[in-house]
Amino acid sequence: MRVFLGLVALATSCAVAVPSAFKTKEEIYAPRGWVKKTRPAPDHSIALRIGLPQPNFSLLEKQLYEVSDPDHERYGQHLSKEEVEDLVSPHPQSLNAVDEWLAGFGLGEKDLVRSPAKDWVIITVPVSVAEDMLDTKYHVWEHTESGDQLVRTTSYRLPSHLHEHIEVIQPTTMFGRFKGYKSTIYNIEEIPEVTTQQASAKAASFNALSGVTVDPSCNTTVTISCLKQLYNAVGYEASPDPRNSIGITGYLEQFANIQDLQSFYAEQRPDALNSTFDFIPIKGGLNNQTLSEAGAEANLDVQFAFGVSHPIPATFFSTAGRPPFKPDLITTSNTNEPYGDWVDFVLGMKNPPLTISTSYGDDEQTVPEAYARRVCASFAQLGARGVSLLFSSGDNGVGDGNSNPATQKCITNDGKNTTQFIPAFPASCPYVTAVGGTAHIPEVAVSRFFSGGGFSNYFPRPLYQEIAVRKYLKNLPKGTYKGLFNPAGRAYPDVSALSDRYRIWLSGRPVLIGGTSASSPAVAGFVALLNDARFKAHKKSLGFLNPLLYTYGLPGFNDITSGNNAGCGTTGFNATAGWDPVTGLGTPNFFKLKSIVTSPFTIL
């Protein structure tokens, strides 16, 4: 019997190893605006990310919604790192098939980097080897508008027996440019001086939306004090509870400068002076503290997220990789998808920050659907573990991020050249909270750099937003923008906040900056405060926010009903009563939300 079983095992192993004919795995049309240039050098290195199937992801998703649904008995009972990994681990057959395929190219365990759940395998190989493995040819592609360059192919193939064991391989067909969402930075001469006394002066203007009074200076310069006044958080004192935490992601060689942070604290949050944040580098991420190298994006995110949430423990992640890639004699590695590296690292942390804000993204159509789904699934893993993920919704209204919103063409990349609104990713992922932008007091949807919003073409509308979005669509005049958006898609943003004229310190001087890259970290700061309130009430962290926000959380938002998000040569969608694809559910009213999340759930 043992001999028989041994022969069966050997035969099975041999069957897996038998080469099979190549079959196309993915093929796309050359994206609009990209031109094929030269062939890369054969020894140019590519870090291939190989995604193996997650056969039990549907069970993970089910448990994510159970622990995030305030009506479910499991609400707040978040999963452990190990429990999540068990749910997304690939079948042993897939691991074996991929390992044997890689071994055929001389790649062994020492050459592989695996994600915590082993559902991703990362290998770094010369482009010549990648071409043999994928039966393809890479080229250097140039973006005609910006001059950015990428090493990419428009199709790749795999042995047919591997198709059931590999979901996606990148970088292959991904032409995303991974942008930070920020708008104009004003000159220092244009900024009125703000002192601590002025910033905390007694408010003098009533805001009917939130029912609170706000200093009139907040219409021209946004400070921490303005946000706390406007969003009804004045007087709330957080604690440095080690169970709580907040994190900011940094990319594109964006450095959060500590000297600038101290100047910001001295001006706007003097009780935070001499406090700082934990710095975590990922894949060689740097921490350049040269004042002139301070990053506007990083400084904005850190100063307001940590300023609003002080003294909650804070972390800044610096992930290496500066997309898009420019091939030259110095840079020999193609490292243009750093958020994959970031999410792998954070999933490997035993205790990741409980609230994390990211102010970067791509046009959804530039991220191949299979890859977008896998990245989105990684966010679901973090949500199941009790992490609240917030992403900026983008700054180009319903249009793409490649041109002036007033002149956008908004053409699809599917070869049909169809005119269509262009959603943003990762904001379109249903497992994250997308944050749009407002301006002025009383608040309206921003009209100068357009709050990103719309409907995903990849992800269907999740159940948690069915009622709110269906109501919006029902009230939309019949035929409005027919064919320009997918009414059945995941709708975003979910919430919003002020996103214009934030006063930060940058390279030793104060400047004003705006964008949904301002509203996302600001909202993250308030979410961290809500977690503080829940811990004080002996409750768990909020985790994935959206199922709560669209139900019991509704009374905790100021409904924004004016403004629109122009783009693609249109005025875009309008802000209106209830949820809308410009400002979502509205802007937060902290003390109302605090009452909701610390009491037995009831519709207030």
Q: Which two structure tokens, joined as six digits, stand for 157?
A: 């193939």
Active-site residue, selected from the candidate residues 61, 167, 301, 337? 301
Q: Looking at the DSSP assignment, which residues form a beta bridge with residue 433? A: 390
Q: Looking at the DSSP assignment, which residues form a beta bridge with residue 564? A: 574
- Listed in sequence order, the DSSP H helices in 161-232 are 196-199, 224-230
3 state SS for 143-180: ECCCCCEEEECCEEEEEHHHCCCCCEEECCCCCCCCEE
Residue 494 labeled ligand binder: no
> HSE (CB half, 13 Å, CA atoms) of 280?
17
Helix or strand run (H / E) with residue 33: none
* Three-state SS at 134: helix
Q: Reply yes or no on whether 301 is catalytic.
A: yes
Please tell me the distance from the alpha carbon of residue 552 to that of residue 562, in angstroms, as a whole number: 24
Please tell me the distance from the alpha carbon of residue 466 to that of residue 550, in angstroms, as a whole number: 9
CA distances from 406 to 161, 499, 573 (A): 49, 20, 15
> HSE (CB half, 13 Å, CA atoms) of 169?
30
Q: Reply yes or no on whether 27 is catalytic.
A: no
User: Which is it for the CA torsion 354, 355, 361, 364, positive or negative?
Assistant: positive
CA-based nearest residue to 543, from 59, 55, 58, 74: 74
* Three-state SS at 452: coil
Q: Which two structure tokens, joined as six digits, stand for 508?
A: 């030793």
Residue 559 labeled ligand binder: yes
Please tell me the distance from the alpha carbon of residue 15 to that of residue 12, in angstroms, as a whole number: 5
Active-site residue, selected from the candidate residues 297, 344, 363, 395? 297
Q: Reply yes or no on whether 392 is catalytic.
A: no
CA distances from 572 to 269, 398, 452, 458 (A): 38, 6, 10, 20
Residue 483 labeled ligand binder: no
Residue 560 labeled ligand binder: yes
Which DSSP string corresponds to 58-81?
Answer: HHHHHHHHHHH-TTSTTTT-PPPH
Q: Is the distance from CB of 433 to CB of 197 less than 8 angstroms?
A: no
Please tell me the distance from the alpha carbon of residue 254 to that of residue 174, in angstroms, as a whole number: 23
CA distances from 553 to 394, 545, 602 (A): 24, 9, 10
Active-site residue, selected from the candidate residues 225, 245, 517, 541? 517
CA-based nearest residue to 336, from 360, 370, 309, 365: 360
Which residues of 530-597 form beta strands (DSSP E)?
Answer: 557-558, 587-588
Q: Is the distance from CB of 16 to CB of 96 less than 8 angstroms?
A: yes
Please tell me the distance from the alpha carbon of residue 65 to that of residue 71, in angstroms, as a whole number: 10
Judging by beta carbons within 10 Å of its beta carbon (0-12, 13-18, 19+), is residue 191 exposed, middle or buried?
middle
CA-based nearest residue to 179, from 332, 344, 396, 398: 396
User: Which residues carry out catalysis?
Assistant: 297, 301, 517
| Residues in the annotated binding site | 559-560, 578, 580
| Residues in the annotated binding site for Ca(2+) | 559-560, 578, 580
